[in-house]
């Protein structure tokens, strides 16, 4: 392998917006994720709608039965 071509890998703590923290390795100093295994609906069994900019409400309003 060639020397000095690979990025440095650091021990970091990845954080989710729900507050869960995971120790991992990365070339970045900080990693923040929007959804993880602790809050993902597949693993928790609860439905969670992530609404950005009111898109879900706009969809429901547009396609609602009259």
Structural domains of the chain, ranges and CATH numbers in brackets: 10-62 (4.10.80.400)
Per-residue pLDDT tens listing for the chain (66 residues): 788 898 999 999 999 988 899 999 999 999 998 888 888 777 777 776 666 677 777 888 888 865
User: pTM score > 0.75 for this model?
Assistant: no
| Contact call for residues 29 and 10 (beta carbons, < 8 A) | yes
* Tokens coding 12: 């970091």
- What angle is formed at CA 52 by the lines to CA 60 and CA 66, rounded to 5 degrees? 10
């Amino acid at each position: 392998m060639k020397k000095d071509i690979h990025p440095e890998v650091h021990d970091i703590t990845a954080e989710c917006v729900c507050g869960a923290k995971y120790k991992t390795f990365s070339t970045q100093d900080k990693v923040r994720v929007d959804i993880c295994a602790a809050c993902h609906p597949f693993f928790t069994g609860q439905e969670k709608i992530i609404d950005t900019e009111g898109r879900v409400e706009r969809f429901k309003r547009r396609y609602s039965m009259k």
